[in-house]
Chain A
């Protein structure tokens, strides 16, 4: 079974702090994704990586950056956390071109910025 793990299930940070969310997958997937999930808005793509050191902006990249130094690990960085970044963050991975897009998700990190 594909396993996608996220470093924290719940996180509370203060406004202005630098926040790191880590995601690790164990199935050698090329693609990795970061989404945020808000009630009534579904999932919105923040960033996408299709290979080590490669990244592509999603629909809402402002205020976020990412890092992919190793194939299995994809980090989301909030440079200076703000209260409007309070949300559920979901990481996902997929094989390039396989199954036309089927993604495997981690359990999510619920981030609260106070």
Chain B
């Protein structure tokens, strides 16, 4: 069965510092992986996704993630944090038994210190 683990429910970084949000997945077949972002009082929106091909995926707002099969990881990074990046971030994996369903991680709240 597919599952997703996000390490750290809350991450705080200084403005301009590197952002690293960790995600590990378990899947018996090659996964399709997603990062979603939820800004305060809003729904989720897709940040980036990995399906096949290049393992380094670029998303919106300067974020990127790298699929590492050997480590079963899909960590999200951004070189320089901005105050507007404060939000909750969810890693997710497709449920292969039903391709329309997504399994979400528990979320990581990112805070940015001035």
CB pair A101–B102 under 8 Å, yes or no, is yes
A106 CA to B43 CA, complexed, in Å: 5
Residues in B with CB closer than 8 Å to A92 are: 43-44
Q: Which residues of chain A from 31 to 74 have any CB-CB distance to chain B below 8 Å in the complex?
A: 31, 33, 40-43, 45, 48, 50, 58
Residue of A nearest to B51 (CB): A100
Residues in A with CB closer than 8 Å to B32 are: 100-101
Q: Taking the nearest CB of chain B, how far is it from the CB of A57, in angstroms?
A: 11
A55 CA to B23 CA, complexed, in Å: 31
CB pair B106–A42 under 8 Å, yes or no, is yes
Residue of A nearest to B94 (CB): A101
CB pair A48–B101 under 8 Å, yes or no, is yes
- Interface residues of B, dominant DSSP: loop
CB pair B99–A108 under 8 Å, yes or no, is no
Flag A74-114 by CB within 8 Å of B: 1 or 0 each. 00000000000000001010101101111101111000000
Residue of B nearest to A98 (CB): B100
A43 CA to B34 CA, complexed, in Å: 14
The count of chain A contact residues (Cβ–Cβ below 8 Å) is 26
Q: Taking the nearest CB of chain B, how far is it from the CB of A70, in angstroms?
A: 19
CB pair A42–B104 under 8 Å, yes or no, is yes
In-complex Cβ contact of B42 among A45, A94, A96, A107 (8 A): A107
Q: Taking the nearest CB of chain A, how far is it from the CB of B104, in angstroms?
A: 4
Known: A101-B32, A102-B49, A105-B44. A40 touches B100 (CB 8 A): no
B28 interface residue, CB < 8 Å from A?
no
Q: Which residues of chain B from 68 to 83 have any CB-CB distance to chain A below 8 Å in the complex?
A: none
A45 CA to B45 CA, complexed, in Å: 17
CB pair A41–B106 under 8 Å, yes or no, is yes
A4 interface residue, CB < 8 Å from B?
yes
B90 interface residue, CB < 8 Å from A?
yes
Most buried by B among A31, A41, A94, A103: A103
Q: Taking the nearest CB of chain A, how far is it from the CB of B37, in angstroms?
A: 11
Q: A90-B43, A101-B34, A103-B44 are in contact. List 11 more A-B contacts (CB 8 A).
A: A41-B106, A42-B107, A43-B90, A50-B100, A90-B44, A92-B44, A97-B100, A99-B51, A100-B49, A101-B102, A106-B43
